[in-house]
Structure 1
């Protein structure tokens, strides 16, 4: 393995001077009592002593530091040996200490990141297992009951087949959402950009969710009357999906006789920002950073009673990021939430 050193001569120079001076102090009596020894011999001895001391110390320090540090790297496995081969090793102990501390900090951060990701992976697998297990067991139980003899009763047969079908529909819903997220993450889902009126897209989302909002007596409203169209440049179908998901989410967790209000405002750099605001139960501060994780539920006990695949907000985040835009969340527990996202504005 080739050694590559970043030269630092401070330690060797100082040490060589100290050794030379000490040697001169010892040899001064010799030159005093031996007058036949000329001054240039004394000078030559000084230069020789200094040079030998400097080169020996410099070489030995380099070898000592390299071997000891390499041993530490290998034994502790703090730094990959490949990094050591490609990086110069300094004989400046202060610089070396800083470099080792920097590598150690980086490795600790990397380990913590891996631990967080592993915890997320375990939680994700547990969540998806639960989401798929519930409808699968439902379908299996109804079909088993029919096979065991309930098939002969026409009323029971139709009721159980209908429930089994709903379980299959839920499975398909979850799988489709997972497939969409996977495509958005890998970039294989192609976005069909076009110029469209965002006001019309919101009105379409209102119409799709009107019946669901009426069941909880939640009013779907604009903050003002938008007579003129507001043109944006994006994938209309995906934007409609993310608006629908956000409004649907506000209805699920909104309070009875509440409101979901939509506003559209000009934003910086030729952007518009769409805000979806409700006066529902709100979100606790500690949950906000995890809102867009797949299957993350705020209320673990009763959250599944509101339905859905648990992937709505995750899909919203991926659609927004696929457009190279941003999504924001503001919430105050007990007073409601506001989700907002940006889109590129266009002139029709």
Structure 2
């Protein structure tokens, strides 16, 4: 077993001290007395042992104090997580502190990278939200100026621009409400009201609700035969309804405008249901798939479309599913379509 740092230094010091004593003893006795080797042979082991233990004690205490400074610096010297080497010193202290400091260094590097990512995300988020708010605000400003410049006198213009103003105001209200909802979901303030409900009936209800919007985009919604009337789930029905609406709405916006098909299916998956919402739309580039649940995120291809919306729908979906302690994933191929899959607990 290799010696610890303090023991190694103490051993070297003891050897040097013993050699020095031996040389001094020989010089003195050769100069003034007749040299007698017996006392030297007796004192050498005693001096070696004494020098070793004293040196080990002093160096051990010295190293311990220095290590305490290091651990205080990296915030580890607390009663509940005091490093083992400050309690029992059976291994090389310097090796241990080296590994601890390296680990601490890696953790700090990781924290710095995460902070950089958060800072970049914050800048992007602020830019996105300012853009989303700026559009309806400028629209409202334009409508109001038009009315002030004489539009109020024309009943048709008056009514038309007031309706457009209302639409822009509603867009801002929806954006603020969705931001508030995400904040509540992230902070845990939004309490889920779980209940047992018929998954088939809920899906059918949402399809009926979204059917007209889908038809306006030349899209039809199909309920796959894998979903039947006996399927019952345990979740917050209102929130799961919102998940379906957001996913179908997303599929309509980015679907195939020349004949879109949205297929909803459901399968037994252990003690859960696996629900899938599939479209045959523009798809998502592979390098962008990991970002689809980010707030305000849109691919460049989807930005070119007049899709409307706040860009928060998928972020809300992800938060709702995770609040149920379930999972959601996405797979997509550009030009072929996208499939969102999420799990729900069986009742």
Q: TM-score, normalised by structure 2?
A: 0.85
Contact 1:271 1:344 in 2 (8 A): yes
The aligned counterpart of 1:83 is 75
Q: Does 1:202 align with 2:203?
A: yes
The aligned counterpart of 1:287 is 288
Contact 2:143 2:162 in 1 (8 A): yes
SS of corresponding position for 1:229: coil
Contact 1:15 1:57 in 2 (8 A): no
The aligned counterpart of 2:89 is none
Further displaced range: 283-292 or 121-130: 283-292
Residues 1-348 of structure 1: pairs in structure 2 closer than 5 A: 9-20=6-17, 22-23=19-20, 26=23, 29=26, 34=34, 38-39=38-39, 42-56=41-55, 59-60=58-59, 63=62, 67=66, 70=69, 81=73, 83=75, 85-86=77-78, 87-88=82-83, 92-224=93-225, 226-256=227-257, 257-268=259-270, 270-299=271-300, 302-303=303-304, 305-346=306-347
Further displaced range: 184-193 or 295-304: 295-304
In the TM superposition, residue 42 of structure 1 has moved relative to its aligned partner by: 3.7
Compared CA separation, residues 194 and 301, structure 1 to 2 (3 A):
closer
Compared CA separation, residues 228 and 160, structure 1 to 2 (3 A):
closer
Further displaced range: 223-232 or 123-132: 223-232
CA distance in 1, matches of 2:229, 2:247: 24
Further displaced range: 147-156 or 85-94: 85-94
Contact 1:19 1:50 in 2 (8 A): no
In the TM superposition, residue 213 of structure 1 has moved relative to its aligned partner by: 1.3
Unaligned runs of 5+ in 2: 87-91
CA distance in 1, matches of 2:19, 2:279: 83
Compared CA separation, residues 250 and 187, structure 1 to 2 (3 A):
same
**RMSD after superposition:** 2.9
Cα deviation digits, residues 231-252 of structure 1 (max 9, x gap): 0011111101101111111111
CA distance in 2, matches of 1:320, 1:312: 13
In the TM superposition, residue 19 of structure 1 has moved relative to its aligned partner by: 2.2
In the TM superposition, residue 16 of structure 1 has moved relative to its aligned partner by: 3.7
CA distance in 2, matches of 1:141, 1:135: 10
In the TM superposition, residue 166 of structure 1 has moved relative to its aligned partner by: 0.5
In the TM superposition, residue 174 of structure 1 has moved relative to its aligned partner by: 0.7
Compared CA separation, residues 27 and 217, structure 1 to 2 (3 A):
same
Contact 2:214 2:252 in 1 (8 A): yes
Cα deviation digits, residues 297-342 of structure 1 (max 9, x gap): 1127835610111100001011101111111111122221111111
Contact 1:12 1:58 in 2 (8 A): no
Aligned residues: 331
